[in-house]
A = this chain, B = another copy of it.
């Protein structure tokens, strides 16, 4: 009997903020397994900001907005049928299958086994010990290279999956950590995580004044998830030889106008001898496990906390996705089937 699969595909390009009607859920039947293949059933799906632009893993399509493409994404899936000796039924895997309920994999590319009884729940493989956690870890430690104890780290979208880990890893490394987030509840959360200062950027009278107040010695490291005006406000407040990791630009993903091509900010980059680097975390994929070993240790030690917000049901993928841009939730957003 053929396995039915539901998937979210693009009907139209996103213009500005994604709209529900840009996507549709389609149903199709999967072909029978061939030798070496396994059949996967999604258990937890991830939503991440990169999906606004990203494309399905391993697709070489040039246009990320191609109509009919599945939405990209990772999921924790259960093996429900196996013709591959390396996988048993009920194994859990992390798979780059996109927004789909069922998928077929050859068990080799874009798939990793997840321990069924690991020290942390499987869903954490989508968050703190998954892509967002690795992003925080390598983005801070490798891109920003904290040099000496007591340097000041500024992070925005700080209550998100990446930002909250960035700030805590900064504290573990002895930095002074200042976070900006979009609600008073988030600010309370950040303070509970040990941030030295935290602000609601939506209600603060002046972003610049808040940064000056909380970073009296200037900003040494800026981990930017937001971009736009936030970026432009922080740059003049950076110290010499400051490091800027451009991890995300959530303020800009949904802009409709083309980007301006004039950027006098480069003069600031020169005078302050800044290093500004955009990165994607897949470049470090071979080192993720090493990072996760450290992070699991920190989690067990109580130095690194994480929170998950769970939506229930495959139909909720879009709502979960949009909550990233609406800033309504704390920590890692996942969808449970």
Question: A interface vs B, CB < 8 Å?
Answer: 53, 224, 227-229, 231-233, 235-236, 246-249, 252, 255, 259-280, 283
Closest 8 pairs between A and B when the two form their complex, measured CB to CB: A270-B278, A232-B261, A263-B265, A269-B278, A249-B267, A232-B262, A276-B276, A246-B270
Residue numbers in B under 8 Å from A235 (CB-CB) = 261, 263
State A53–B233 Cα separation when bound (angstroms). 23
Q: Are B231 and A266 in contact, with the CB atoms below 8 A?
A: yes
A252 touches B275 (CB 8 A): no
Copy number of this protein in the oligomer?
Answer: 2
B residues within 8 A CB of A262? 228-229, 232, 260
Cβ-closest chain B residue relative to A269:
B278
Q: How far is the CA of A252 from the CA of B266 in the complex (A)?
A: 10
Residues of B within 8 A of A280 (CB): 273
Residue of A229, A231, A264, A265 with most partner-chain B CB within 10 A: A264
User: A283: nearest residue on chain B (CB-CB)?
Assistant: B273
Which B residues touch A247, using CB under 8 A?
270
> Which residues of the other chain, B, contact A248 by a CB distance below 8 angstroms?
270
Given A265-B259, A266-B246: A276 in contact with B273 (beta carbons within 8 A): no
